[in-house]
Amino acid sequence: MKHISIAIVEPSPIILEGVASIVSHSPSLRVAGAVATLGELQAIMRNTEVDVVVAAVGLVRDIEGVAELQSLPIIGMQSAIVDAAMLRRFTAVATLYTSEEELHRMIIDAADMPAEHNYAESHELSERERDVLVLVARGLTNKEIASELNISPHTVISHRKNIVHKTGIRSVAGLTVYAVLNKFIDSERL
């Protein structure tokens, strides 16, 4: 079994320890480090391979200045109300109310979908991209979407990357809202 290596950077010790504890409950996830500052994170990354970073949303501006993080998927940990544009800079966003299972799924999905920090202007989604978006909004994993649509998981990942590029939205919650607002799915079917 391949382990996904997670680094957590969160100034709040309570949130930091909570996220580290939750991540450690999954046999496929491994905490490479849990630190309070980006400097400490960079020190960890010099010695340890990291697949996904979970970071406090408030650190977004500082994160953008760290070259090592530009090629990694980053899940934002939101513990306060922030501007929606700030949240779009993350691969996904977890809150204090995100379940353990959902956080695990976010991390696994993020590891399958490398972060790219260039946001394309909105373009119309293809029919297949809309199909994938609807299933993402319904909470299916890449593997489940592949099975449902009779395509490979790699094709699902490609469609998800295209959806992110076309919409500029990275989080599952944001994509769900996008799908509902654009009438791709009825909110009662979620």
Domain ranges of the chain: 4-112, 127-189
Task: Tell me whether domains 4-112 and 127-189 share a fold.
Answer: no
Model confidence at 118: pLDDT above 70: no
pLDDT tens for each residue of 70-80: 788 999 998 88
**What is the structure's pLDDT at 12?**
95
pLDDT bin (cut points 50, 70, 90) of residue 53 is very high
Q: How many CB atoms lie within 10 A of CB 117?
A: 12
Task: Give 151 or 113, the one with higher predicted confidence.
Answer: 151
**What is the structure's pLDDT at 145?**
93
pLDDT tens for each residue of 132-188: 999 999 999 999 999 999 998 888 988 888 888 777 788 888 888 888 888 888 877
**How deeply is 40 buried, as exposed, middle or buried, from its count of CB atoms within 10 A (0-12, 13-18, 19+)?**
middle
pTM of the model: 0.61
Q: Which residues are bridge partners to 95 per DSSP?
A: 78
- Which of the listed CATH numbers 3.40.50.2000, 3.60.15.10, 3.40.50.2300, 1.10.3720.10 matches domain 4-112? 3.40.50.2300
**What is the structure's pLDDT at 120?**
36
pLDDT bin (cut points 50, 70, 90) of residue 42 is very high
**What is the structure's pLDDT at 64?**
78
Model confidence at 115: pLDDT above 50: no
Measure the CA–CA gap between 102 and 96, rounded to whole angstroms.
12
- Which of the listed CATH numbers 3.40.50.360, 3.40.190.10, 1.10.10.10, 3.30.930.10 matches domain 127-189? 1.10.10.10
Tokens linked to 24: 């450690």
* DSSP string across 105-161: HHHHHHHHS-----PPPP-PPPHHHHHHHHHHHTT--HHHHHHHHTS-HHHHHHHHH
